[in-house]
Structure 1
Amino acid sequence: MTILTRDTGIRIRTGRSVDPAIIGPSVVLLTMLATYAALSPHFLTFSNFSNVLVQAAPLVILATGQTFVVLIGGLDLSQGSIVSLVSVVTAAVMMNHGIEVAILAGLGSGTCVGVLNGFLVGRLGLQPFIVTLGMLYMVAGVALVLSEGSAIFGLPQPDVETFFWFGGGKIGFLPVPLIIAVLVVLGARHVLGSRVLGRHTYAVGSNASVAALSGVDVRRTRMWVFLISALLASLAGFLLSGRVISGQPLLGAGDLLLQSIGAVIIGGTSIFGGRGGVLRTVLGVLVIAFMVNGLNLLAISTFTQQVIIGAIIVFSAWLNTLGKTRA
């Protein structure tokens, strides 16, 4: 459904009606599920689906933050390094000050990166790609310096049990990381669909100049978007660290950042900004998560998996471009 925003006069998509952009990823996901179920007897089991969803929960949180940035037409390349920084800071502080202070320090350190990103992009007007690329290296370096390049093990009891509960515990039969991911998605959808910040995010992504002329504080919106991205990356880093109950300076390295961006693109959020949402992103995460899981069950090499995921991302970007051209 398209509405005319009361405070900006800009038409945006609220995402409350059936979204045609999810048809393609949905077909891909359902086809994969049917194919893997036919090829592997271990795929359609409760334990397998539960493991996939638990493992995908931090990526859902990370990609939700990335969605905000993509909606304004940018990218946050610092997310992976924030995950590593939060892991190291949380574990290091926990060694001497306990879990409560460690949580505040870990999440606070990652959030500070978002504040700096937002200031450089929003207030100084620097390009998001350049700023977050620089932060990728800087923050990753800080994580390595703080940990001296080694993992931080031997966390004290009973803090380590509480730490693991966030990353691998359960409430009843529901995994804690999955509950947190669902709450994050619902909160993000509420912000994007019903709050002023959400409307301004879509407006800036659609046309920043028009948004500014319509009364939107473009700089402030960009600052908030990068703050949200960093905060959610910090939360994802905390959950991942809890799962491995240690501080890992390379926890956010590798495919995590690329999967975060890939999930947003595969889900159908426009790389040009202004169109998309978190439910699309969740669908993109599920495509990646179940694809990797099914290929692992079929003993397909990780090299082949990278080729397949890359091809799907390129195809999704092409569809995004076609949609932009039609618009």
Structure 2
Amino acid sequence: MVTKGAPETGSAPISSHVRGYLDRVRGGDVGALPAILGLVVLCTIFTILRPAFLSEGNFANLFTQGAAVTVIAMGLVFVLLLGEIDLSAGFASGVCAAVLAVLLTNHGWPWYWAVVASLVTGAGIGLVLGVLVAKLGIPSFVVTLAAFLAFQGIVLMLMNEGSNISIRDDTILAVANKNVSPALGWLMLAVGLAGYAAVQLWQARGRVSRGLTADPISLIAIRVAAVAVIAGVAVYVLNQERSRNAIVVSLKGVPIVVPLIVVLLIGWTFVLRRTAYGRHIYAVGGNREASRRAGINVDRIRISAFMICSTMAAVGGVIAASRANSVDPNTGGSNVLLYAVGAAVIGGTSLFGGKGRVLDAVLGGAVVAVIDNGMGLMGYSAGVKYVVTGLVLLLAAGVDALSRKRAAATGLR
């Protein structure tokens, strides 16, 4: 017998989950839905207009083309969740890439120590920015705008006022230019699917053990099957031969940068969703004063978010250096910051704080890469691509603002 008012236990039917999701969407909680719909629409349009868009070679290029921006956007999510901004993330990645190149090429350091030095540089940059924002109370816009200007000068100084430093280390070059073997690609997919299914079942079992309603096994099966189909198709396409002369050089397999991004996505998602630190990030972003009164060390959370952002910018700098085979004064500049912020916002992370996921950066990064790549195939100029990307970003920000108003009106926020 169930006592009136007691929490419902067991698994709810799929229909109730569907109704609940639709109610949340109508209430303003659209999540990543706009980004997913945008990806579907854009890919459909570009495929119709330029069938080469979904060729094996271009499909692989999409992953490597948007990898650096996506990784930088992952770090920006942590800052945006607090309602802050980091305008220096692009050139911070350039500084860290320059440190990597100078140590590798000019001083002959092993790749692993050069990478560590690059990451430490990124963390140090974030520490300085975070202290200025949290301890001195300078607005993050001002602090990071000043850093944006200063880091351009630092990159120039590290590059001897404009020189180009080539990257010759095979390990670093492999990050964005090499692929895993087809067999290893399938093995990673199998392990990933098994892990995803295990986590879903473990979460459902945990909710049932606490007397809460859990997702039914059929819904979990649908989720796992959907991920298996999407990822399976991607691995199959990437495992096809992409070289025009396979006798001389073979190009097939999942790009190495893809599992790197997946590992970062899983790791940071776990941090945000399954740790006290992640809950504190959302709490501070939602209401800073209430978080302070609840005993959360707000300053420490804010400083750490900037450190994570700049460290991820360093990872993005390493990827960018690998893809370009070199580092120059423009590394991390140009449209890198704009695309990274755009990726996070387009994916669904709110500019007002308290709402967002690391997955948003990946989805938004995919949208940005598809726009840039697809319009490039169609022969449009860089100016047109900037205009379209800007309009998409404005649309995403508008959806975020409207959804927040809708959520406030319906009492969901």
TM-score (norm 1): 0.90
Aligned to 1:21: 31
Match for residue 70 of structure 1 among 63, 70, 80: 80
Counterpart selection for 1:255 from 335, 343, 353: 335
Q: Indicate if the aligned counterparts of 2:93 and 2:310 stay in contact, CA closer than 8 A.
A: no
Contact residue 263 and residue 282 of structure 1 kept, 8 A: yes
1:227-246 equivalent positions in 2, closer than 5 A: 227-246=307-326
Equivalent residue, structure 1, for 2:380: 300
1:134 aligned to which of 146, 156, 159:
146
The structure 1 residue matched to 2:118, chosen from 106, 110, 128, is: 106
Q: What's the CA shift for 1:279?
A: 1.5
Is the 1:144–1:150 Cα contact (8 Å) retained in structure 2?
Answer: yes
Q: How many residues align?
A: 308
Q: Is the 2:64–2:323 contact (alpha carbons within 8 Å) kept by the matching residues of 1?
A: no
Establish whether residue 166 from structure 1 lines up as the match of residue 175 from structure 2.
yes
2:107 is aligned to 96
Matched, 1:147 2:152: no
How far is 1:149 from its partner? 2.0
Aligned: 1:40 with 2:50:
yes
Give me the identity figure in percent. 31
Instruction: Give the counterpart letter for 2:357 in structure 1.
Output: G
- More displaced, 224-233 or 127-136? 127-136
Task: Return the index of the structure with the highest Cα Rg.
Answer: 2
Answer yes or no: is the 8 Å Cα contact 1:160–1:245 preserved in 2: no
Q: Deviations over 1:256-299 (max 9, x none)?
A: 00001111111121110001111122111111111111111111
Mapped to 1, the partners of 2:37 and 2:166 lie a distance apart of 46
* Preserved contact between residue 87 and residue 246 of structure 1 (Cα < 8 Å): no
1:217 aligns with 2:297: yes
TM-score, normalised relative to structure 2: 0.72
- Which position in structure 2 is the counterpart of 1:265? 345
Letter in 2 for 1:96: H
Report the Cα distance in structure 2 between the residues aligned to 1:215 and 1:83, rounded to whole angstroms.
34
Contact 2:101/2:166, CA 8 A, preserved across alignment: no
Task: Answer whether contact 1:269 1:275 (CA < 8 A) is retained.
Answer: yes
* Unpaired runs of at least 5, structure 2: 1-19, 22-28, 182-252, 409-413
8 Å CA contact 2:122–2:307 kept in 1: the answer is no
Distance 2:137 2:38 in 1: 39
Pairing partner for 1:86 from 73, 85, 96: 96
Please give the per-residue CA displacement for 1:104-154, whole angstroms capped at 9, x wherever unaligned: 222222221111111111222221111111111112211111212223335
Give the stretch that moved more between structures: 105-114 or 217-226. Answer: 105-114
Mapped contact 1:72–1:201 kept (Cα < 8 A)? yes
Tell me if the contact between 1:88 and 1:152 (Cα under 8 Å) persists in the aligned partners. Answer: no
When residues 47 and 220 of structure 1 are mapped into structure 2, their CA distance, relative to the original with a 3 A threshold, is same
Work out which structure has the larger RCO, using CA pairs closer than 8 Å and 6 or more positions apart in sequence. 2
1:284-295 matches, within 5 Å, as 284-295=364-375
Partner of 1:6: none
1:82 Cα deviation from its structure 2 partner: 1.0
Q: 2:131 aligns with which of 119, 124, 135?
A: 119
Amino acid at match of 1:97: G
SS of the residue 2:356 aligns to: coil
| Residue identity in the other structure for 1:101 | W
User: Which sections of structure 1, spanning at least 5 residues, go unmatched?
Assistant: 1-16
Structure 2 CA distance for aligned equivalents of residues 30 and 204 of structure 1:
34
For 2:131, the aligned partner's letter is F
Q: Distance in 2 between matches of 1:61 and 1:165?
A: 17
